[in-house]
């Protein structure tokens, strides 16, 4: 065996031994935390229900209703690499959401929920599919925390993006959803893993 090969093998062995000896970040650190909440206003809820449309959060997301603000679906943060103030990365969320149309009898369920730092949209993958659909977007009035703030936050109005409206209309056999449709409000609070 020549010296170059022996040195390469020795270096690889040293790197492997070091990697095994180092503790993992998840074993000693704090996991990512926070949540993203979508609140549908009473105005949106009334119009949706009159059209036979309902949405329900799926575990581990939770739902609540306040007669003043409307219905809220809250998705827990499970990970991510986002820097929201710099429009970078993604935040991964737990749970899912189901949309149903009582008039057509159609239901579509979504999981693998994420918040994109770059587009400020919440997307999810329809069950049985592989391509994410943008379901909600932060509107023009969005306010975020400063770079370096902990937790990182975003708050603003919630709109339905054009691609999300088209997908939901096709899946539910409805014409209820429209591009830029005002839903209510969105809020995100995200603390990266450390």
Which tens digits make up the pLDDT trace of 38-48?
Answer: 999 999 999 99
pLDDT band for 28, please (50, 70, 90 cuts). low
Tell me if the pTM is above 0.75. yes
87 CB neighbour count, 10 Å cutoff: 13
CA dist 166 and 101 (Å) reads 15
* Percentage above 90 pLDDT, the chain: 84
Contacts of 61 (CB under 8 A, 6+ apart): 73, 74, 75, 76, 93, 94, 95, 96, 97, 113
- Mean pLDDT calculated for residue range 156-180: 98
Which tens digits make up the pLDDT trace of 80-114?
Answer: 999 999 999 999 999 999 999 999 999 999 999 99
Which tens digits make up the pLDDT trace of 63-83?
Answer: 999 999 999 999 999 999 999
Residue 54 clears pLDDT 60, i.e. is over it:
yes
pLDDT band for 3, please (50, 70, 90 cuts). very low
What are the angstrom distances between the C-alpha of 59 and each of 37, 41, 56, 112, 123? 14, 22, 10, 12, 16
CA dist 137 and 125 (Å) reads 16
In this prediction, residue 118 carries a pLDDT of 96
Which tens digits make up the pLDDT trace of 106-141?
Answer: 999 999 999 999 999 999 999 999 999 999 999 989
């Amino acid at each position: 065996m020549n010296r170059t090969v022996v040195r390469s093998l020795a270096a690889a062995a040293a790197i492997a031994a070091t990697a095994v000896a180092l503790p993992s970040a998840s074993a000693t650190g704090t996991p990512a935390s926070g949540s993203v909440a979508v609140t549908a206003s009473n105005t949106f809820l009334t119009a949706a229900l009159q059209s036979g449309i309902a949405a329900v959060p799926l575990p581990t997301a939770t739902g609540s209703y306040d007669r003043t603000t409307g219905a809220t679906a809250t998705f827990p943060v499970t990970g991510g690499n986002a820097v929201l103030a710099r429009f970078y990365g993604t935040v991964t969320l737990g749970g899912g959401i189901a949309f149903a149309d009582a008039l057509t009898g159609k239901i579509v369920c979504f999981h693998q929920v994420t918040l994109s730092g770059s587009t400020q949209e919440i997307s999810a993958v329809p069950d049985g599919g592989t391509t994410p659909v943008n379901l909600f977007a932060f509107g023009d009035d969005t306010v975020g925390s400063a770079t370096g703030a902990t937790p990182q936050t975003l708050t603003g109005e919630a709109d339905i993006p054009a691609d999300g409206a088209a997908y939901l209309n096709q899946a539910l056999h409805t014409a209820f959803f429209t591009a830029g449709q005002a839903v209510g409000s969105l809020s995100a609070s995200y603390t990266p893993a450390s």
